[in-house]
Structure 1
Amino acid sequence: MTTTRPARTAAAHRLAALAASALGGPLPVRLRAWDGSETGPADGPVVVVRSRRALCRLLWQPGELGLAQAYVTGELDVEGDLAEGLRAIWAAAREQQLGAPRLSLADRLRAAGAAARLGVAGPPPAPPASQARLRGALHSKARDRAAISHHYDLSNAFYRLLLDETMAYSCGYWVGEEPEFGPADAQRAKLELICRKLNLMPGARLLDIGCGWGSLTLHAAERHKAHVTAVTLAREQATHVREQVRARGLGDRVEVFCQDYRDIAGGGYDAVATVEMGEYVGDAEYPGFAATLHRMLRPQGRVLVQQMSRGATAPGGGAFIEAYIAPDMHMRPLGETVSFLETAGLEVRSTESMREHYVRTIEAWHHTLEERWDDVVGLVGVETARVWRLYLVGGALAFEERRMGVDQVLAERPATDGQDSRPPTPWNWYTGLDRL
């Protein structure tokens, strides 16, 4: 007598059932597993699980970090346009009110059993090589230097591939709608806006904290004849800025220091700028950072803080960002930043949201990444290239969907007599920015 063995349930169906149990609802995607099986809505984004190893990661790291690890290693992928896929996934998750996995011990045991039936077992896989590995006390000087180096010392050659000619790695200001108005124009408009808000005059002393590759430093020195002290923790950045200072003959106007902001000496500056650096300071350390901004200024001196923000319920950068892009970063609501600055003795004169501008800025970087994909992979490897693809796509969507913001905050150190050094209205800030 011949007996027929029941067919094994396809991997995709087992995975979908497992995910639905963890999320509290059906997956809003079509799932394709390593054995070729598929399940889920025919018109949904297709998530491809290429390897059992991806499932192993998710069992040990359920949620955003496990998914990111599987994606950057290529064990998991989204078929087609990643941005459209993620947008559809998040929209469906909101509509179905799916939550992040919160697995009880019983849930974990059931998941382990299902994984075993799929041939997945064993210890947690090692984190991908591109994941940050920091040691030491949170926001100690040594750890902060390592955190900055992880992201910004990737290589100047990489950032030259990704960024435009200004080498500005922060939100641009898209004041022109003409087709020929591009990323470099948006960055020059942003740099000029900052200089105007700071009311830079020839000979003014500017302190640029977190100067990056020197875009603001060089613009202020060349266009406004300011004397600039540029500070960065990243050695690659300091090397680039010094090279540009020599090439442009600005040695008499620009000094470059590779140091922690806590080690900056002196003071009496007419203006201080810190562009998307405050996110790295840390929550407990921000009052001290705000006090440093106040201490560096002369009375009636101005400070411009351009900084990313998140809601009170999600103050960090997220598991992926903090593991792969900006370890230890902390973003807070705009109102908390304003409060810190005011508590330090600064008078906040203006705030301006630039959230929509960051969507366009990041999309421009992503377009360049895809256009130069082979060059990027040749320079930093496919894993790091996939990290950046996920980072840029996810970042643009976060700003698009108001889960993140970015703002310029202008403040002044009050004079003892209460006088303000600027006209009360910003009538000249925006004139002609589209024609730089």
Structure 2
Amino acid sequence: MATLLDVGCGWGSLSLYIAKKYSNCRITGICNSTTQKAFIEEQCREHQLKNVEIIVADISTLEMVASYDRIFSIEMFEHMKNYKDLLQKISKWMKQDSLLFVHHFCHKAFAYHFEHINEDDWITRYFFTGGTMPAANLLLHFQQSQIRSYQDWLANGKHYAQTSEAWLKRMDENMALIKPIIESTYGKDQAIKWTVCWRTFFIAVAELFGYNNGEEWMVALFLFKKK
């Protein structure tokens, strides 16, 4: 049975998709949220999936002895720093013929920290605390003796802009269903504020990645293998 590791699995979209499509795979997901773990496990029960395990941990301190055939990380690196240490840690979980796939958004040329300087920086504070906007080629500077880039691609930012616009449209169309969730999560007295925050976030992402015809902020994809 092939083994896969989803580093920063979030709400489990990719892990669950693979588990449904490839029943001969064993998927381990790492997230930092007990709520996300509970949701994924509920989905596994609903769809009778027996090939998924979720670990709740801080990736920066997590140590494991297991190794995997394939490892992927979708939009986690933006929430991290110390890419040298991170890639070195992940490389220890790779078998000799393993592949590591990394997907992160980026700026075409410049890397910069997400900085929380004042109250206006609420997107940094709530969405990307302690994170980094990588440059398109940033990870290539952290290749080590253990791994090297096998292939890499850049996807035009307009795709991500359209995704964010679709999220906004779906939110607006389902506000009656979303309102109770926002109220239970943030409190009724904060519901309007957080509804506006989420809508503003989707609008900001769409504008950012659509800027300059999608050639300024983009999505970077890397495939690493053992040296």
TM (normalized to structure 1)? 0.45
Partner residue, 1:301: 98
> Size of the alignment, in residue pairs?
208
Q: Distance in 2 between matches of 1:321 and 1:403?
A: 20
Residue 53 of structure 2 is matched in structure 1 by: 255
- Whole-Å separation in 2 of the counterparts to 1:291 and 1:328: 20
Tell me which residue corresponds to 1:214. 12
Structure 2: segments with no counterpart, 5+ residues: 116-120, 183-190
**Counterpart for residue 137 of structure 2:** 335
Residue 249 and residue 373 in structure 1: after superposition, are their counterparts in 2 closer, same or farther (change >3 A)? closer
Is 1:291–2:82 an aligned residue pair? no
Match of 2:199 in 1: 389
Mapped contact 1:211–1:217 kept (Cα < 8 A): yes
- How far is 1:378 from its partner? 4.3
Q: Structure 1 stretches (4+) deviating beyond 4 angstroms?
A: 311-314
Matched, 1:235 2:37: no
Q: Relative contact order, CA 8 A, sep 6+: which one is greater?
A: 2
Give SS of 1:244's match. helix
Q: Matches of residues 363-402 of structure 1 in structure 2 within 5 Å?
A: 363-380=165-182, 381-401=191-211, 402=215
**1:267–1:298 Cα contact (<8 Å) kept:** no
Q: Secondary structure at the match of 1:263?
A: coil
Q: Percent identity?
A: 23
Cα pair 2:110 2:134 within 8 Å, conserved = no
Q: Determine which structure has the larger strand proportion and give its number.
A: 2
Tell whether the 8 Å contact from 1:279 to 1:329 is kept in structure 2 after alignment.
yes
Cα deviation digits, residues 100-141 of structure 1 (max 9, x gap): xxxxxxxxxxxxxxxxxxxxxxxxxxxxxxxxxxxxxxxxxx
**Cα distance in 1 between the residues matched to 2:2 and 2:177:** 41
Which structure: larger Rg? Answer: 1
1:352 aligned onto 2:126: no
SS in 2 for 1:358: helix
Shift of residue 314 of structure 1? 5.6
CA distance 1:326–1:313, shift in 2 (3 Å): same
**Matched residue type, 2:152:** T
Pairwise CA distance, 1:358? 0.7
Instruction: Provide the C-alpha distance between the structure 2 equivalents of 1:325 and 1:227, rounded to a whole number of angstroms.
Output: 30
Q: CA RMSD in A?
A: 1.9
Q: 1:325 pairs with 113, 118, 127, which one?
A: 127
- Whole-angstrom distance in 2 between the partners of 1:337 and 1:314: 11
Residue identity in the other structure for 2:148: E
**Unaligned regions of 5+ residues in structure 1, if any?**
1-202, 415-436
How far does the alpha carbon of each residue in 1:29-64 deviate from its partner, in whole angstroms, 9 at most, with x for none?
xxxxxxxxxxxxxxxxxxxxxxxxxxxxxxxxxxxx
Contact 1:210-1:232 within 8 A present in 2 as well = yes
- How many Å separate the matches in 2 of 1:244 and 1:344? 39
TM-score w.r.t. length of structure 2: 0.84
